[in-house]
Amino acid sequence: MESIAIIRRLQPPEYALDILLILRPLIIFIFLYGAAGLMADQATIELQILESLAVSGEHI
């Protein structure tokens, strides 16, 4: 009987998988949102470089 109690204590709660399944889309959304933000920042920087080159008359 004591070993069954120890095994039950070591197992995660039954709702742990449900919580992970609920959180998974949120984690993916946060990751993709962050990646999209970084890409937008990079595009903005490149656009600023091109604009400054156009104003100064330099060519790439």
Per-residue pLDDT averaged across 20-46, rounded? Answer: 91
> Is 46 or 11 the better-scoring residue by pLDDT?
46
Do 22 and 29 touch, CB atoms closer than 8 A? no
% residues pLDDT > 70 (the chain) = 77
Give a three-class secondary structure readout of 15-44.
Answer: CHHHHHHHHHHHHHHHHHHHHHHHHHHHHH
Any residues with CB less than 8 A from the CB of 60 and at least 6 apart, and which?
50, 53
Task: Give me the mean pLDDT over the 31-56 stretch.
Answer: 90
CA distance 53 to 46: 11
pLDDT of residue 51 exceeding 70: yes
The predicted structure's pLDDT at residue 3: 65
